[in-house]
Amino acid sequence: MAAKGCLVILNPAADRGEAGRRERELRDALEGAGLEYKLVRTEAPGHASELAREAARAGIPLLVAAGGDGTVNEVAQGLVGTEVPLGVLPIGSGNDYARALGIPKELGAAAQRLATNPPKAVDVGLVEGRYFLNSLGMGIDGQIAWDYRRMRFLKGELGYLAATLLEIVRFRSFWAEVEADGWSFSERLLTTAVMNGPYAGGGFYLAPQARPDDGQLDLVFLGNYPRVVRFSVLPKTRDGSYLALSRVQHRRARKARIVADRPLPVHMDGELLPEPVSHLEVELRPKALLVV
């Protein structure tokens, strides 16, 4: 891979702008791994997807997303269904997809992986004409992502934790109807999480059994709890122990339809849909993306 080179797409706005200040560190890691590369910076939301599509058409042998989960998601939009593999250098605030793939957080080790590991095929999810790689959240976790985006002074896991505590107090539960692969149910919920990897929100262990290449989506439904009880329930999502609670359901499916009684914020890999929605149709696309 090193002899063929790669294109690195750096999102300087990732991690509240910290990613842009780490460009020299990023270059040192790439050069230390012996990679021939060209580095370009994104200039606006959506730019990474445009760059990825152009690179895929040009036959670039490896495309590397340098940023967080949102950056990786944008780059992947241009690579799904192509023969161009995706590499990840995790310098964002959450880095949940990198964690799901076993990519080291230390940049030197992550770059070395790009130079030596062969590509492998993984699954992706499809919603509203857009792919997600790791997680989708509708309900309180979508609201948490909304809050986090508006926070100015907290970032990373601390920011997600602060937003979680805020929504424990104020989030209003919703009624949802779910149909998926021969089963259905309706219930009052706090959230619906559709997981292709085990982590979301900067390390919350929402779906311990989920794997990006197992041919299934893991759907987790967290039922409603009184606000005072939520303070003991939601922290259990940190280590996955919440799955043992009586008001939590865990199912697996390749297709699902979710209808809520009001529009709700929805995140895909930590990035919000433009507007809250009340209806979602989710579909798995197995082995649709190559990753290193």
Segment (H or E) for 162: helix 156-170
What residues act catalytically?
271
Tell whether the model's pLDDT for residue 156 goes beyond 70.
no
Superfamily classification of domain 6-118: Probable inorganic polyphosphate/atp-NAD kinase; domain 1 (3.40.50.10330)
Domain with CATH 2.60.200.40 in the chain: 131-286
- The residue behind tokens 């299934």 is 216
- The residue behind tokens 């149709």 is 281
Topology (CATH) of 131-286: Tumour Suppressor Smad4 (2.60.200)
Question: Cβ contacts of residue 185 below 8 Å, gap of 6+?
Answer: 177, 178, 249
Tell whether the model's pLDDT for residue 2 goes beyond 50.
no
Per-residue pLDDT tens for 225-279? Answer: 999 999 999 889 889 999 999 999 999 999 999 999 999 999 999 888 989 999 9
CA distance 240 to 204: 8
Could you tell me whether strands 217-223 and 248-253 are parallel, antiparallel, or unpaired per DSSP bridges? Answer: antiparallel
CA distance 193 to 225: 17
Kindly report the pTM of this predicted structure.
0.90
Residue 3 — pLDDT band, cuts 50, 70, 90? Answer: very low
Residue 4 — pLDDT band, cuts 50, 70, 90? Answer: low
Domain with CATH 3.40.50.10330 in the chain: 6-118
